Amino acid sequence: MNNTFVKIWVHNRESDLMMDFLLDRVTIPPNYIIDHHEVPKSITGGWIEMTISYDRYLKLRQSHDHVDTTHL
């Protein structure tokens, strides 16, 4: 069995929604970032790091791609 994990960053106000998506409770995930260097500065509390299994990451990627922060 392969135990591979991926770190993603989610805005702290959307962390519950991300968990709901990963646990199949909702069908649309919130925005997320995969590179901590691209996490934007925020005055609303910022972004949190979440470590998820690779199979959950694939599910997330199939739903939509990560945020392109070059335009933020």
Whether the per-residue pLDDT at 71 is higher than 50: the answer is no
Enumerate helices (H) and strands (E) in the chain, giving the number of each: 2, 2
**In 10 A of CB 30, how many CB atoms?**
17
Q: Which two tokens stand for residue 21?
A: 């998506």
Residue boundaries of the structural domains of the chain = 1-34
pLDDT value at residue 65 = 64
Question: Residue 7 — pLDDT band, cuts 50, 70, 90?
Answer: very high
Whether the per-residue pLDDT at 11 is higher than 70: the answer is yes
Write down the pTM of the prediction.
0.78
DSSP 33: B
